[in-house]
Structure 1
Amino acid sequence: MTTTAPPEPRSQATTGPARPAAPGGSAAGRLWRASRLPLAAFTLLVVVAVLVSLGREPFPSGYLEPQNPEPNGSRALVRLLEQDANVTVTRGSEAAARAVERAGDDTVLVLFLDHRLLPEELDALAELEADTVLVQPSLRSLNTFAPGTDVTGRAHEGRTLEPGSDCELPAASAAGDAGVVGELYSAEPGTEALGCYPADGGSALLQVTAPDGTTTTLLGTGAPLTNRDLDSAGNASLMLNLLAAEDVVWLRPDPPEEIGSATLWELVPSGLRWSLVPLALTLLLFALWRGRRMGALVPESLPVVVRAAETTEGRAGLYQSRQARDRAVSALREGFLERSLPKLGLRRDAGPEAVVAAVAARSGDDPQTLWPLLYPAQRDPYAANDDAMLRLAGEIDQLAGRLR
Structure 2
Amino acid sequence: MTTTAPPEHPPAGSAPGSAAGRLWRAGRAPAAVIGLLVAVSVLLSLGSEQFPSGHLEPGSPEPDGARALVRLLDEDSDLTVARTSEAAVRAVERSGEDTVLVVLLDHRLLPEELDTLAGLGSDTVLVRPSLRSLAAFAPGADMTGRVDDERTLEPGCALPAAASAGDAGVTGELYTAGNGVEALGCYPAADGSGLLQVAAPDGSTTTVLGTGDPLTNRELDSAGNAALALNLLSAEDVVWLRPDVPEEVGSATLWELVPAGVRWSLAPLALTLLLFALWRGRRMGALVPESLPALVRASETTEGRAGLYQSRKARDRAASALRNGFLERSVPKLGLRTDSGPDSVVAAAAARSGEDPQDLWRLLYPSQPDPYTADDEAMLRLADELDRLSGRLR
Same fold (TM over 0.5): yes
Q: Matches of 2:216 and 2:43 in 1, distance apart?
A: 32
**How far 1:62 moved relative to its partner?**
2.3
Alignment of 1:70 with 2:74, yes or no, is: no
Distance 1:42 1:199, change over 3 A: farther
Alignment of 1:180 with 2:202, yes or no, is: no
**1:197 touches 1:204 (CA, 8 Å); kept in 2?**
yes
**How far 1:71 moved relative to its partner?**
2.2
Structure 2 residue aligned with 1:276: 266
How do residues 83-232 of structure 1 correspond to structure 2 at under 5 angstroms?
83-158=75-150, 160-164=151-155, 166-232=156-222
**How far 1:130 moved relative to its partner?**
0.7
**How far 1:271 moved relative to its partner?**
2.1
SS of the aligned residue for 2:157 comes to coil
Moved runs in structure 1, 4+ residues, more than 3 A?
A: 25-39, 54-58, 280-292
Q: Percent identity?
A: 73
Alignment of 1:249 with 2:226, yes or no, is: no
**2:175 touches 2:194 (CA, 8 Å); kept in 1?**
yes
**2:153 touches 2:170 (CA, 8 Å); kept in 1?**
no
Q: Matches of 2:50 and 2:131 in 1, distance apart?
A: 35
Structure 2 residue aligned with 1:379: none
**2:143 touches 2:174 (CA, 8 Å); kept in 1?**
yes
**2:166 touches 2:224 (CA, 8 Å); kept in 1?**
yes
2:216 partner amino acid: T
**2:96 touches 2:237 (CA, 8 Å); kept in 1?**
yes
Structure 2 residue aligned with 1:48: 40
Q: Matches of 2:121 and 2:170 in 1, distance apart?
A: 26
- Which stretch of the first structure deviates more once superposed, 130-139 or 274-283? 274-283
SS of the aligned residue for 2:219 comes to coil
**2:153 touches 2:171 (CA, 8 Å); kept in 1?**
no
Q: Matches of 2:177 and 2:81 in 1, distance apart?
A: 30
Q: Matches of 2:263 and 2:199 in 1, distance apart?
A: 51
**How far 1:41 moved relative to its partner?**
2.7
Cα deviation 1:112-163 (Å, max 9, x = unaligned): 11111111111111111110000110000001101111111111122x3222
Distance 1:263 1:107, change over 3 A: same
Q: Give the number of the structure whose alpha-carbon radius of gyration is greater.
A: 2
**2:153 touches 2:169 (CA, 8 Å); kept in 1?**
no
**How far 1:218 moved relative to its partner?**
0.5
Q: Matches of 2:242 and 2:146 in 1, distance apart?
A: 24
SS of the aligned residue for 2:113 comes to helix
Structure 2 residue aligned with 1:21: none
Cα deviation 1:338-377 (Å, max 9, x = unaligned): xxxxxxxxxxxxxxxxxxxxxxxxxxxxxxxxxxxxxxxx
**2:145 touches 2:191 (CA, 8 Å); kept in 1?**
yes
Cα deviation 1:23-82 (Å, max 9, x = unaligned): xx9999899777654542332121121133234433322221212222222121111111
How do residues 378-397 of structure 1 correspond to structure 2 at under 5 angstroms?
none
Q: Matches of 1:286 and 1:223 in 2, distance apart?
A: 53
Structure 2 residue aligned with 1:263: 253
SS of the aligned residue for 2:56 comes to coil
SS of the aligned residue for 2:76 comes to coil
* TM-score normalised per structure 2: 0.62
Q: Matches of 1:219 and 1:288 in 2, distance apart?
A: 63
Cα deviation 1:261-295 (Å, max 9, x = unaligned): 11121011222112123334545666898999xxx
Distance 1:280 1:123, change over 3 A: same
Structure 1 residue aligned with 2:53: 61
Q: Matches of 2:159 and 2:268 in 1, distance apart?
A: 56
Distance 1:280 1:176, change over 3 A: farther
SS of the aligned residue for 1:82 comes to helix
2:203 partner amino acid: G
Q: Matches of 1:285 and 1:220 in 2, distance apart?
A: 58
Gaps of 5+ in 2: 1-16, 283-394
**1:151 touches 1:184 (CA, 8 Å); kept in 2?**
yes
**2:154 touches 2:188 (CA, 8 Å); kept in 1?**
yes
- Which of 231, 236, 240 aligns to 2:230? It is 240
- Which stretch of the first structure deviates more once superposed, 105-114 or 191-200? 191-200
Distance 1:179 1:45, change over 3 A: farther
Distance 1:53 1:83, change over 3 A: same
Q: Matches of 2:276 and 2:192 in 1, distance apart?
A: 66
Cα root mean square deviation, aligned = 2.7
**1:161 touches 1:198 (CA, 8 Å); kept in 2?**
no
Tell me how many residue pairs correspond in the alignment. 268
